[in-house]
Amino acid sequence: MEGLVVPLMRRVRAHRDRSVAGSSEPEEDAFVLAIFRLLYTLCKVRGYKTVVRFFPHEIIDLEPTFSYIVSHSSLMTSRWQLDDAATNSWDSAGVSDDELGWERRYVLFLWLSIICLIPFNLASFPSRQSSSTSEPRTLIDDLVEEAKKDLKAAAKTRDAAAELLSRLLTRPDLQSQYLERFLAWATEVLTSSDDTFLRTGVLTALAGIFKRGKRDVLLELTPLVLQHSATLMEGTLIQRKLCIKLTQRLGLAFLKPKVAIWRYRRGNRSLLSNLSDKPSGAGSAPANAPASAADLEEDEDYDIPPEMEEIIGLLLDGLRDKDTIVRWSSAKGIGRITERLPKELGDEVVQGVIDLFSFTESDGAWHGGCLAFGELARRGLLLTHRLADIVPLVTKALLYDVKKGSHSIGAHVRDAACYVAWAFARAYEPSVMAPHVVELAPTLIITALFDRAASAAFQENVGRQGSFPFGIDIIKLADYFTLSSRKNAYVTISVELAKVTGKDGIYFRPMVDHLLRVKVSHWDRTLRKLAAKALRGLVPIDPLYFAQTVLPYLVHANLNERHGSLTGVAEVTLGLAELQIFDDSANTQLTESVVSVVPDIEKARLYRGKGGELIRHAVCKLIRAISVSRLPLPPQPLNTQATQAEAAPQPAGRQSIQDIRNRRAAVKSRALIYTESLNDHIKHPNEDIQRAAALAFTAFHQVYTYKTSDEWKDKFVDTYASVLLGDLSGVIASVRRGYALTLGHLPASFLLNQQRVDRVVAALVKASTVEAVSEQRDPESRRNAVHALAKLVDSLSEDEIVRKGKEVFDALLAALDDYSVDNRGDVGSWVREAALKAAEKWALRMAAVTTTQLITAEMSQGLFSRVLRQLAEKIDRLRAHAGDTLERLLYPAEEGLRMPLVPHREQLKQAFPRGGVANWAVSSVTFPLLVPFLRYDAYRDDVLTGLVTSASGSQSLVHDASDALMCFLRDVRNSEEAGLTDGQQPEADAAQRFEASLLRKISSSLVQIFKRHLYTDRITVPLMKTLHTILADGVFSCLRPPRFSWSKNMVILCRAEVSKTNDIPKLVCAARVLCGILAFGDPARTESLKLLTTLLAHKYPRVRQQVAEQLHATFSASGQPDLQPVLALLADTHWDQAMNDVVVARDALRGLLAIGS
């Protein structure tokens, strides 16, 4: 730091001398201002207290530095005194903040604050200004007045001026003459001024004065300042913070500067001294030695000023402030003042802090109270008998969490409570903290695991107290890195910790109870799920406790907690089932309580209202857990008397709809209730619920309905399939989505009958096809049907794969061509993404059939060409999926699954080695690997189509696609031109080889793609953009008529594309292509000119203007002298004028070009 500051200040000092002498140059002023800004930056980064130590501080610097700052103060002072109107005129004059250079005044004020500490009689320096009074002015008067001006600045100069005043006015030789006068002015400002910045500056100066001033001098002035400063406790954030800071220093001025002898003293806390064999000094007292009666009497034997009650009250109120920095300053003030109070009064302060820990208080009060406890504990002001009252409050604060709207508050309270626990570890002997370990240690572990906030506090207690059970083992498990992942902390670390500490330790039960009573019902859905998973992982530690306590509690939880409780029941049920707890006949009642949850929810109709969707999702998860656990489903509830009473007939006049539903529910079998519940969830519009229901569907029917009759299964399957195969006009979209997804989750036992398989496959194939009626189109239904086909392949036998493979595979290839678009965008991408996975699974499964070869060359080419097309398109997500699919098809996990008849398999493997592409979604990596496959007829059209559609993507995507394509085409052109000019080749052979050239094939592919997708803007517009790029580059310049007719075909297609459109971007793209084709000569040139001149008379002026500009640029680039009249006409005509004039100019242009209409 010294090497940075000293050279800079040397330059400043030299410039100061020249500036005061009037010999500085403007260029030098700008350079020195940059130095001041650099010094300010150093002060901001390292702190001004560090930097100012290296400032020169000689008495000869005082007057020149003051003159220097005065010479640059006129602009700043004038600007602060301007009103709004004057400020506007000032700004119009061009005077900027940079020219004012407030950093200069900031550094100079700090420099003066160091110079004024020199032990020299500063009052002997006369003022350089004339005095209006009989009393002679001194330089100190000028310094004070100059600093006062900056106290109202809105810049950092305010803080520097306050620093100067606090150091200057607390000099012993200046206090009697200047301090009282300044304090009188300051109190007047606090009471009468409305200037927020001035009051803030005055408070900053007062806080500094009462920090550095002598107590005997300040004591007489303290009541006056206290009276006026307390009025600003309702001001801005900075003012409240400064008021608290000033208030605590006023309190310290009222009290004698001594440390309370009654405080708890732990003794020497230096590790080096603790390890030393040498005893402490003879005069040192043992740790926490009790004070003698004489010392206590002396400590109590002095009067406490009555103002202290108000000061302490203000500081306690500051602990409730809404802003953290105010509470933190109040806590430090509480600690410093309590350190000087007698024991009895100090205990009252502690009680005042304890009173803040009420649930009627705000989170700010809890936070401030924790900060105060931490400060008091660090100073030994919390006596040991108070720990019994304080530790329970700290444990509550460690778990403080209050829901507020859509979020919760309390993280800052928990952090502050961790600070208190950390302070306890450092402040007290292990013997003092030992009685409280059982209460504090589990809470710290809970906070560390499930809030990830107390890890450091726990480590501090383990290291310094040594009485925390399994402390070292826990620290090894739960450190900063392992707890950084919330999922890892809940699911993994909590279980490992419970295994280490055991079920009988002090940690296990509190952890489980916290998850059970707090986290399972937490407002955050993600936390509820993690808590349920954590409970499942903890089941093997103490299965009996979970079976007897945890699961019954979850089953009978309050309705307000039902989602988390249902999730917990599902997870705990799975955990207990893995340990075969439900197999014990003694747990029949427990089993019944679990399987009764779903009927009870159905009976109470809890799916309605707020949170109903969450309940549905949790019920699906519970049904799946019950099914996986294979819990028995009794046909009737165990309470037969209640069942008979509910099922008994009632008088007709007394029957209600709810009564009828209750009686029906009572006589239904549990399996039927579960089946109807799943069917209801499957039809729900929420996709998460449908997916959860489909998973539960598979698990349930694998366990409970696999022995049902074929007739029942036929009817069951037909219920779902008939909806998808029938008329869709009256079917709700959510029903179609759910039924399509469900058919793919049918257990294998439902697919042993050919007729059912045919029915299911036909329904899913139809559901995966784009609907003919636009109003019936639903991409989510098609996506779910494709997902179902991917799931179905795992349940079908090999014979069914042979029988239905081609039908399904053709449907999946068709799904890869789904480019449906609605107001949500490319919704067909959902179907294509699902089809990639489904086609891969079916292809590999069909390839594994050894009895016959199911996959033909056409099917292999269709699949791989479509996968490559997805790799070349503009959606990053699809490129990533397509790349992974391609790699798995080329390199299957088992060699027996090798895809047969893949075109150019070796070239594919060479281009895409296993693991060779780190990220398929990056277009700049993927596209250059794809363009070489334009050489092969099997892949050319699809790869070119994908690259063309990327031309309508983002700017970076367009750049990557164009670069890859153009680089490839240029290489092809150069290699073919080199072959044509080779003298060793006969002319006839060269012409034949050129006839079959790759450029011709690519141009033909572009024509075919255009023709195939005519009037499809998704393809045609980016295709014309791509073609414009190709033509502008001249790659196709060798493909001229009459040998090649692609240019004429392209003109015909462009004419058809724009004939009935008013889409301006499409018309402009077509005009650019047509202008590019002009270079290819007749007949394409004449047809292009006819269409272009037709567009010159289009009804949209913008189109006319754009076409005219394109024609002018094209004709200018041709360099033909006979086109000068045409160029003049194009340039002189205002193509956005009235249509009659435009038509006359257009006809004249046709005459000049010798073309007809």
Contacts with 989 (C-beta within 8 Å, 6 or more apart), sequence order: none
Contacts with 635 (C-beta within 8 Å, 6 or more apart), sequence order: 669, 670, 671
CA 867, chain centre distance (Å): 32
Q: Give CATH for domain 711-930.
A: 1.25.10.10
Neighbours of 1088 (CB within 10 A): 28
Q: What is the pLDDT of residues 1043-1085, one digit of tens each?
A: 678 889 999 999 999 988 889 999 999 999 999 998 888 888 8
Q: What is the pLDDT of residue 1118?
A: 83
Q: What is the pLDDT of residue 1155?
A: 82
Q: What is the pLDDT of residue 130?
A: 54
781 in Cβ contact with 763 (< 8 Å):
no
* Mean pLDDT, range 641-650, rounded to an integer: 38
Q: What is the pLDDT of residue 1092?
A: 92
863 in Cβ contact with 908 (< 8 Å):
no
> Which residue reads 């009935």 in tokens?
1060
Q: Minimum mean pLDDT among 87-91, 795-799, 821-825, 1039-1043: which range?
A: 87-91
| Burial track 1051-1064 (b if 16+ CB lie within 10 A, e otherwise) | bbbbbebbeeeeee
CA distance 324 to 15: 44
Q: Minimum mean pLDDT among 60-74, 144-158, 234-248, 781-795: which range?
A: 60-74
Residue 78: phi and psi, rounded to 5, are -60, -40
Nearest to 807 by CA among 783, 821, 789, 833: 789
Neighbours of 282 (CB within 10 A): 5
Q: What is the pLDDT of residue 150?
A: 87
410 in Cβ contact with 427 (< 8 Å):
no
Host H or E run for residue 548? none
Which tokens go with 215? 């107590």
Which tokens go with 65? 């530095």
Beta bridge partners of 126: 138
Q: Could you give the count of Cα atoms lying within 13 Å of 513 in the half-sphere of its Cβ?
A: 10
CA distance 537 to 65: 72
Beta bridge partners of 409: 402
Beta bridge partners of 408: 403
868 in Cβ contact with 943 (< 8 Å):
yes
* Mean pLDDT, range 791-814, rounded to an integer: 95
Contacts with 646 (C-beta within 8 Å, 6 or more apart), sequence order: 662, 663, 666
Cα→Cα distances 639→635, 667, 672, 711, 882, Å = 12, 12, 18, 32, 57
Contacts with 1046 (C-beta within 8 Å, 6 or more apart), sequence order: 1000, 1003, 1004, 1006, 1007, 1036, 1039
CA distance 218 to 215: 5
Q: What is the pLDDT of residues 628-642, one digit of tens each?
A: 999 988 764 434 333
**Angle (CA) 248 250 256, round 5°:** 95
* Mean pLDDT, range 361-365, rounded to an integer: 93
Nearest to 1093 by CA among 1076, 1110, 1118: 1110
1053 in Cβ contact with 1014 (< 8 Å):
yes
* Mean pLDDT, range 816-837, rounded to an integer: 94
* Mean pLDDT, range 668-697, rounded to an integer: 91
| pLDDT above 50: residue 518 | yes
Highest mean pLDDT among 557-561, 817-821, 1078-1082: 817-821
Contacts with 1127 (C-beta within 8 Å, 6 or more apart), sequence order: 1112, 1115, 1116
Q: What is the pLDDT of residue 229?
A: 76
Q: What is the pLDDT of residue 277?
A: 45
CA distance 161 to 768: 76
| pLDDT above 70: residue 586 | no
CA distance 346 to 344: 5
Q: What is the pLDDT of residue 542?
A: 93
Q: What is the pLDDT of residue 668?
A: 60
CA distance 147 to 300: 43
Q: What is the pLDDT of residue 648?
A: 35
Cα Rg of the chain (Å, integer)? 43
Highest mean pLDDT among 58-67, 328-337, 579-588: 328-337
| Burial track 549-584 (b if 16+ CB lie within 10 A, e otherwise) | ebbbbbbebeeebbbbbbbbbbbbbbbbbeeebbee
Go through the chain and tell me how many residues it has: 1157
Q: What is the pLDDT of residue 102?
A: 87
Angle between helices 102-115 and 26-46 (to 10 degrees): 70
Domain ranges of the chain: 1-73+101-118, 137-253, 527-635+670-705, 711-930, 1040-1153
| pLDDT above 50: residue 85 | no
3-state secondary structure labels for all residues of 596-624: CHHHHHHHHCCCCCCCHHHHHHHHHHHHH
581 in Cβ contact with 536 (< 8 Å):
no
Q: What is the pLDDT of residue 1025?
A: 94
In 207-301, the DSSP E strands lie at none
CA distance 977 to 745: 59
CA distance 538 to 520: 14
Contacts with 910 (C-beta within 8 Å, 6 or more apart), sequence order: none
Helix locations, 502-550, DSSP H: 508-514, 525-538, 543-545
Contacts with 256 (C-beta within 8 Å, 6 or more apart), sequence order: 302, 340
**Mean pLDDT of all residues in the chain?**
86
Long-range CB pairs of 578-583 (<8 Å, 24+ gap) are 578/539, 578/540, 579/539, 579/540, 579/543, 581/543, 581/547, 582/629, 582/631
Angle between helices 363-378 and 343-354 (to 10 degrees): 150
Q: What is the pLDDT of residues 598-625, one digit of tens each?
A: 988 888 888 887 788 999 999 999 999 9
Q: What is the pLDDT of residue 231?
A: 75
Long-range CB pairs of 506-509 (<8 Å, 24+ gap) are 506/437, 506/438, 506/441, 506/442, 506/469, 507/441, 507/442, 507/445, 507/469, 507/470, 508/538, 508/541, 508/542, 509/545
Q: For the residues of 451-491, what is the DSSP string, one character each?
A: TS--HHHHHHHHHHH--STTHHHHHHHS-TTTTSSHHHIII
Q: What is the pLDDT of residues 1082-1103, one digit of tens each?
A: 888 899 999 999 999 999 999 9
| pLDDT above 70: residue 1116 | yes
- What is the pLDDT confidence band of residue 223, given thresholds at 50, 70 and 90? confident
| pLDDT above 70: residue 1038 | yes
Cis preceding linkage at 1083, omega within 30: yes
Q: What is the pLDDT of residues 196-205, one digit of tens each?
A: 899 999 999 9
Q: Minimum mean pLDDT among 367-371, 403-407, 548-552: which range?
A: 403-407
Contacts with 459 (C-beta within 8 Å, 6 or more apart), sequence order: 475
Which tokens go with 1051? 């003109």
**Angle (CA) 670 676 682, round 5°:** 135
* Mean pLDDT, range 829-849, rounded to an integer: 95
Q: What is the pLDDT of residues 134-148, one digit of tens each?
A: 567 788 888 888 899
Host H or E run for residue 402? strand 402-404
Q: What is the pLDDT of residues 856-901, one digit of tens each?
A: 999 999 999 999 999 999 999 999 999 999 999 999 988 777 889 9
